[in-house]
Amino acid sequence: MVSVKGERDDEPHVADLLGALFADVGAAFAGEEWRGLRLSHLRLLQAVPRDGTSVTDLAARLGMTKQGCGQLVAPLVASGHLTSEPHPDDARVRVVRRTRLGDQRARAVTRGLARLEDRWRERVGERRYATFRGVLVELAAASDEPAPE
């Protein structure tokens, strides 16, 4: 049996709980100057490896469609955070790389997320946070697996 709510009617469901944590993530970046970038752009910036990657590989890494990934890449190219150039061996493939500005933003995101995790760790304690983070890692890894029937 799948339960959306907990045992009590006033217990929030998991989407509410995750939403509160996502609000914390958004608030952690609210004071920064991101030049119109959304969290999805910042997530994508961090996913681009140093030596670059194709949009197709980047989409797979982020668990999204190639088209959706391309829609996030385009404004990052336009804003100077990424470059997109033809692959030297196959002009049909575009290689996406971070620019100096993109590297700066990616480092700022890493620092901001580290501060947020430090705050969460302080709220619940080192041991409980380590357990929470371990469970998140496990659930994220399992999200690629097909659901049991």
In the chain, the number of structural domains is: 1
CA distances from 129 to 66, 114, 123 (A): 34, 13, 9
Range(s) of the domain holding residue 104: 35-112
Cβ 102 vs Cβ 82: under 8 Å: yes
Contact (CB, 8 A) for 114 and 122: no
- Assess if residue 14 is contained within a domain: no
* Region of poorest pLDDT, from 42-46, 122-126, 143-147: 143-147
Instruction: Count other Cβ atoms within 10 Å, centred on residue 90.
Output: 10
Question: For 97-113, how does the pLDDT look when each residue is reduced to its tens digit (9 = 90+)?
Answer: 999 999 999 998 899 89
Asked whether residue 90 is domain-assigned, the answer is: yes
Question: Does residue 123 sit within a domain?
Answer: no
Give the pLDDT mean for 139-144. Answer: 79
**Residue 22 pLDDT > 90, yes or no?**
no
Q: Sorting pLDDT into bands at 50, 70 and 90, what band is 1?
A: very low
For the record, the structure tokens of 139 come out as: 């659930």
- Residue 137's pLDDT is 92
If you average pLDDT over residues 103-129, what whole number do you get?
Answer: 93
Beta-carbon-side half-sphere exposure of residue 23 (alpha carbons within 13 Å) = 6
In a domain, residue 42? The reply is yes
Report for 23-27, 37-41, 62-66: range of highest mean pLDDT: 62-66
DSSP H helices in 1-149: 14-28, 39-47, 55-62, 66-78, 100-124, 126-142
Q: Which of 14-28, 53-67, 124-138 has the lowest mean pLDDT?
A: 14-28
CATH for 68? 1.10.10.10
Which band of pLDDT confidence, cut at 50, 70 and 90, is reported for residue 141? confident
Measured between alpha carbons, how far is residue 113 from residues 37, 46, 52, 64 in Å? 16, 12, 23, 22
Band of pLDDT at residue 3, cut at 50, 70 and 90: very low
2 band by pLDDT with thresholds 50, 70 and 90:
very low
Confidence (pLDDT) at 91:
80
- pLDDT for position 6: 56
> What phi and psi, each to the nearest 5 degrees, are found at residue 146?
-65, 145
Residues 114, 71 contacting (CB under 8 angstroms): no
Q: What are residue 54's phi and psi, to 5 degrees? A: -80, 160
- Rounded to whole angstroms, the maximal C-alpha distance in the chain is 60
